[in-house]
Structure 1
Amino acid sequence: MANLKPHLSYEDQLIKLENRGMIFSDLDRKQAQKKLANVGYYRLSGYWYPFRKLKIPPPSDKLESRRNENFIENTLFSNIYKLYLFDVKLRNIIFLGLERIETYLKAIIAYELGKISPTAYKDKKIIDNNSHDKHDNWLNNLNILIDKNKSNDCIKWNIEKYNEIPIWAIVEIWNFGTMSKFYGILDDKYKVAICKSMKFLRPNSKNVKLSLKTSLEYLNIIRNRCAHHVRLWNTSVSNNKINLEMFDNLDLNVANLNNDSPELYRIAGIIYMIWSFTLRISEHSDWLETIVNHINDPYYVNAVKYSQMGFNNGSLIGINNLLKLYKQQTE
């Protein structure tokens, strides 16, 4: 087992990067040191990893890095920092989209299941027969969440007055993971009701119900990455199948997507997914325009490898066309 690497001063960190081929010529050393101090060498290392040279031949061990320590020629530290700034803003835009989706889905779940009873979320009758154990675990985690939020006004008031918390109140303390797991264990009848409220063209479709479950799991991963300031721009999520029926309110022909498109499992696919959800909430939104403008910003063009975001062949034509079509339809 290897020894931990020693602490390095900011100047020694710069020297180490220079020795590996990184260029600092467009920054003075104090500026570069300040950026390392503000962000941290280790955090920035995730952004310069794609700029490291590939090993030839590639390693046979999957756990071994595919890249060596030296940087590709003409790798500028300033571009690494631009990529970091690009990612910060990308996370903020993505997070705003997810916040709206979370609020929307909580409202739908509370409305549809509130028809059954105020505490339907506790009832095994609404749960898939094969998921009763998962429901027990979910309820245990919910009780922990309630205990953490016992000073929350709506929780405190309902417990003091009714000794119960109705579903329309308890969703206020759910996190995205609580919500996505709850949808995943529901009986098909209630999944269909939620899909109908979300205006899917074929709410009874198995593809839609399964893809919504998978999509919520994906979005929960992305939401947590955003909340904890984890690198996002070139992230990938597990490749559980998403059927394009999930995007039945988008014309994905303009984005050249199909059910086998690898883009669906990178950040590009997450953008399409958030946009599809957003249009189910409102036909008028500037979210897509905001994120497309950011991705196209020429300030970042030399720093961002769009193919690693999942855009086909590194081209932004598809997402630009999707925005163009939306603007034409809403003029």
Structure 2
Amino acid sequence: MKPKSINSLMAYMRDEKKINIYGSFQKRQLRNMGYYHGYKGYRYCGSPNQILLYTDFKQIKAVYDFDMKIKSIFYPQIMFLETTIKNYSLEIILNEVNSDRFVDVYTKLMNNYKSYPFNSKKYKIAITKKMSMRNKIYGNIARDYGKNNIIKHYYDKDKPVPIWAIFEILSLGEFGNFFSCLNKTVRIKISKSVGIKSSVDSNGEMIENIVFALKDLRNAIAHNNTIFDTRFKSNKINGVISKYISMETGIKNINFQNITDYLILISFVMKLLKCNRTDIIALINQFNNECEDLRKQIPMNIFSKIVYTDTKGKLRDLKNFL
């Protein structure tokens, strides 16, 4: 099928989808956001069978702008959390193993497989995960040689790349897998250092769960994918996170089906890390302001599918907790 021109696409939106779009200004806006990335990406909420009934291109543009703005609000905070959680973990790891060599960390600390009966299914999965993590790390080192001055420096000096440098080249998801390979004692110590109560994290898996909850959001933002409807989730979020946050904050119905719950998670972890309360409140206010701006620009039947009716109550409870 022959590709449609931008004028033909606008005509299609008008004639077939009954969306009001005219003029050179809106044509430029459509070009900038992209018909396929923009209109196609923002015409539904959650899943492709939940079509948003737009009647005007301005409404699509408002949702697109909302999505872009909350990405810009969240991204610095997620990068901060990624770096900080890695740093807290690194501090405990270096103290435990008394070495910065990855081979020592691998041998002495990445032995979670021992917590399962020998040769059991879980034992085999855990030890395979450990070996896969080793291969991933060495693959990353090979990938970044020539691109990363730190990696190049150690290899050119014929020295092992230290664990702190390896952390710099691990993605958030890779770090989550690395963390899961650590033995329970080390995981619990890291969890405690971050500020998580031992009574709710007796197996030391809460950090891992939080990392994987944030990982998909972080990747979606980094690759400029749509986030307003949480379609970026690759897996179900572990329910222990929701229960823990609800218990601490009093906020109900945290299920990560809407983007507000990710704001709550980010704010909660920032609180654990003793971030400035004023900064967290500012983050919440920025998000709330963008929600209010969106409400003024689109019909309520569309707005209520994007920003749930319990959002104001959740944000109020979150502020009260802080």
Same fold, TM-score > 0.5, yes or no:
yes
Q: Please give the alpha-carbon distance, in whole angstroms, between the structure 1 residues aligned to 2:50 and 2:267.
A: 34
Q: Are the aligned partners of 1:111 and 1:168 in contact in 2 as well (CA < 8 Å)? A: no
1:88 paired residue number? 68
Q: Please give the alpha-carbon distance, in whole angstroms, between the structure 2 residues aligned to 1:157 and 1:248.
A: 47
4+ residue segments displaced more than 6 Å: none
Residue type at the aligned position of 1:180: G
The structure whose residues are more often helix, as a share, is 2
Q: How does 1:1-331 map to 2 (within 5 A)?
A: 6-24=2-20, 28-44=22-38, 45-50=40-45, 66=49, 72=53, 75-115=55-95, 116=97, 117-119=99-101, 120-123=104-107, 125-129=109-113, 130=123, 131-151=126-146, 152-161=148-157, 163-202=159-198, 205-206=201-202, 209-236=204-231, 237=233, 238-243=235-240, 244=242, 246-247=244-245, 250-251=248-249, 253=250, 255-257=251-253, 261-262=254-255, 264-285=256-277, 286-297=279-290, 298-301=292-295, 302-303=297-298, 305=302, 307-309=304-306, 311=308, 313=309, 315-323=311-319, 325-326=321-322
Deviates more, 1:13-22 or 1:222-231: 13-22
C-alpha displacement of 1:18: 1.0
C-alpha displacement of 1:30: 0.9
1:55 paired residue number? none
Residue type at the aligned position of 1:66: N
Q: Please give the alpha-carbon distance, in whole angstroms, between the structure 2 residues aligned to 1:204 and 1:321.
A: 21
Residue type at the aligned position of 2:49: R
Q: Please give the alpha-carbon distance, in whole angstroms, between the structure 1 residues aligned to 2:307 and 2:191.
A: 27
* Alignment CA distance shift 1:50-1:266 (3 Å): closer
Q: Are the aligned partners of 1:235 and 1:309 in contact in 2 as well (CA < 8 Å)? A: no
Residue type at the aligned position of 2:107: D
Residue type at the aligned position of 1:137: S
* Alignment CA distance shift 1:162-1:189 (3 Å): farther
C-alpha displacement of 1:231: 0.2
C-alpha displacement of 1:125: 4.5
C-alpha displacement of 1:139: 1.2
Residue type at the aligned position of 1:32: Q
C-alpha displacement of 1:181: 0.9
Deviations 1:176-217 (A, max 9, x none): 1221111122211111011011111226734x7334322211
Q: For residue 43 of structure 2, give the secondary structure of its aligned residue in structure 1.
A: helix
Q: Are the aligned partners of 2:294 and 2:303 in contact in 1 as well (CA < 8 Å)? A: no
Q: Please give the alpha-carbon distance, in whole angstroms, between the structure 2 residues aligned to 1:20 and 1:123.
A: 63
1:60 paired residue number? none
Q: Please give the alpha-carbon distance, in whole angstroms, between the structure 2 residues aligned to 1:180 and 1:209.
A: 13
Quote the RMSD (CA, aligned, Å).
2.8
Q: Are the aligned partners of 2:229 and 2:257 in contact in 1 as well (CA < 8 Å)? A: no
Q: Are the aligned partners of 2:112 and 2:184 in contact in 1 as well (CA < 8 Å)? A: yes
Q: Please give the alpha-carbon distance, in whole angstroms, between the structure 2 residues aligned to 1:84 and 1:124.
A: 49
Q: Please give the alpha-carbon distance, in whole angstroms, between the structure 1 residues aligned to 2:2 and 2:268.
A: 48
With the length of structure 2 as denominator, give the TM-score of the two structures.
0.81
With the length of structure 1 as denominator, give the TM-score of the two structures.
0.79
* Alignment CA distance shift 1:307-1:246 (3 Å): farther
* Alignment CA distance shift 1:114-1:93 (3 Å): same
Equivalent pairs, count: 297
* Alignment CA distance shift 1:170-1:50 (3 Å): closer
Task: Structure 2: give runs of 5+ residues left out of the alignment.
Answer: 114-122
C-alpha displacement of 1:103: 0.7
* Alignment CA distance shift 1:248-1:322 (3 Å): closer
Q: Are the aligned partners of 1:289 and 1:323 in contact in 2 as well (CA < 8 Å)? A: no
